[in-house]
């Protein structure tokens, strides 16, 4: 969420926002000179705003010689173009792209049994994410990971962790059983990927919260 807040903050300035929208509307990479002329700014001020937009992750930049200019004739100018990803901010945080990808892949792969396949895909996505995080970091902060995914984890009574926000809220209110099942499978897969067998994800619907909570894994029954 932090990267997206920085992106939003970068667009507060009116001139910078106008330059960003100008670059997005073009069908070619935009040079500093072109941006300055479009925004009626000095070249140095246009360059400053464009580089701030690159730092915020809204634009990408490279050096590219104009068409027709012979190679080796001076340094190629810096040009800017939009990043391919969209920017979306929701409060509280939602993850509709994630659920859309899971559902679309499920329908494409198993149209006759999309719901069950979506649950399997959610578990797989969660496990893959957990495994990547475990490989990238010596110690994974589970609370920070869940918070970054939009779940808003908060300690409950005892050793339970309540997930106060549902990243798929709008869909969960319309298709509760399906979306809660996918959500549960995703969190359970995440725990497996993180190699945290001491915790289990379980369905525990409550008003105003996610349908999933974390709890200590049940102790094995004697004789098992």
CATH number, domain containing residue 69: 1.10.10.10
Mean pLDDT, the chain, rounded, equals 84
The per-residue pLDDT for range 128-176, each reduced to its tens digit, is 999 999 888 878 899 889 988 888 888 877 788 888 888 888 888 889 9
Residue 72, pLDDT above cutoff 60? no
CATH at 131: 3.30.1380
Q: Is residue 222 part of a domain?
A: no
Q: Is residue 199 part of a domain?
A: yes
Domain edge (last residue) among 82, 108, 129: 82
Q: Is residue 221 part of a domain?
A: no
Q: What does the pLDDT read at residue 93?
A: 61
Whether residue 68 is found in the same domain as residue 107: no
- Residue 81's Cβ-count burial label (10 Å; 0-12, 13-18, 19+) is middle
**CA pseudo-torsion sign 24, 25, 28, 34:** negative
Check: CB of residue 180 under 8 Å from CB of residue 152: no
Whether residue 7 is found in the same domain as residue 74: yes
Helices (H), 12-149: 14-25, 32-39, 43-55, 96-109, 114-136, 142-148
Give the whole-angstrom CA distance, residue 142 versus residue 149.
11
Whether residue 8 is found in the same domain as residue 66: yes
Q: Is residue 91 part of a domain?
A: no
Give the whole-angstrom CA distance, residue 179 versus residue 96.
11
Check: CB of residue 122 under 8 Å from CB of residue 186: yes
Give the whole-angstrom CA distance, residue 34 versus residue 78.
11
Whether residue 19 is found in the same domain as residue 129: no
Whether residue 42 is found in the same domain as residue 136: no
Whether residue 7 is found in the same domain as residue 29: yes
- The edge-to-edge listing of strands for the beta sheet with 30-31 is 30-31, 78-82, 59-63
Expressed as residue numbers, the domain containing 56 is 2-82
In total, how many domains does the chain have? 2
Task: Give the position of tokens 């895909």.
Answer: 121
Lowest mean pLDDT among 61-65, 165-169, 177-181, 215-219: 215-219
The per-residue pLDDT for range 6-37, each reduced to its tens digit, is 777 777 788 888 999 899 888 899 999 999 99
Residue 190, pLDDT above cutoff 50? yes
Whether residue 129 is found in the same domain as residue 176: yes
Q: What is the average per-residue pLDDT within 66-92?
A: 67
Rounded to two decimals, the pTM is: 0.62
Give the whole-angstrom CA distance, residue 203 versus residue 23.
46
Lowest mean pLDDT among 81-90, 142-151, 162-171, 211-220: 81-90
Whether residue 126 is found in the same domain as residue 66: no
Q: Is residue 87 part of a domain?
A: no
Whether residue 32 is found in the same domain as residue 108: no
> Among 92, 97, 127, 118, which residue's Cα sits nearest to residue 201?
127
Q: Is residue 90 part of a domain?
A: no
Quick one: pLDDT band at residue 222, thresholds 50, 70, 90?
Answer: very low
Whether residue 107 is found in the same domain as residue 201: yes
Whether residue 209 is found in the same domain as residue 101: yes
Give the whole-angstrom CA distance, residue 76 versus residue 14.
29
Check: CB of residue 127 under 8 Å from CB of residue 135: no
Q: Is residue 180 part of a domain?
A: yes
Check: CB of residue 114 under 8 Å from CB of residue 107: yes
Here the tokens at position 87 are 């920017």
Q: Is residue 88 part of a domain?
A: no
Which residues have a Cβ under 8 Å from the Cβ of 190 and sit 6 or more positions away?
126, 127, 129, 130, 145, 201
Whether residue 108 is found in the same domain as residue 62: no
Q: What does the pLDDT read at residue 68?
A: 53
Domain edge (last residue) among 82, 114, 140: 82
Domain edge (last residue) among 55, 82, 109: 82
């Amino acid at each position: 969420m932090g990267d997206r807040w920085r992106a939003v903050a970068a667009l507060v300035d009116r001139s910078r926002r106008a330059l960003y929208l100008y670059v997005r509307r073009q069908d070619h990479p935009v040079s500093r000179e072109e941006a300055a002329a479009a925004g009626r700014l000095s070249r140095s001020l246009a360059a400053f705003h464009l580089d701030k937009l690159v730092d915020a992750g809204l634009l990408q930049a490279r050096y590219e010689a104009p068409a027709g200019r012979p190679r080796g004739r001076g340094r190629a100018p810096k040009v800017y173009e939009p990043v391919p990803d969209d920017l979306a901010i929701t409060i509280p945080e939602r993850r509709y792209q994630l659920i859309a990808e899971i559902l679309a892949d499920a329908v494409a792969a198993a149209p006759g049994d999309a719901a069950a396949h979506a649950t399997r895909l959610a578990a797989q996505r969660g496990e893959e994410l957990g495994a990547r995080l475990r490989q990238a970091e010596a110690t994974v902060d589970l609370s920070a990971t869940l918070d970054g995914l939009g779940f808003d984890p908060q300690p409950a009574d005892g050793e339970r962790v309540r997930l106060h926000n549902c990243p798929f809220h709008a869909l969960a209110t319309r298709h509760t059983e399906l979306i809660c099942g996918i959500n549960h499978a995703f969190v359970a897969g995440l725990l497996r990927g993180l190699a945290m067998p001491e915790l289990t994800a379980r369905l525990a619907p409550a008003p105003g919260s996610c349908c999933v909570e974390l709890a200590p894994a049940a102790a094995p029954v004697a004789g098992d």
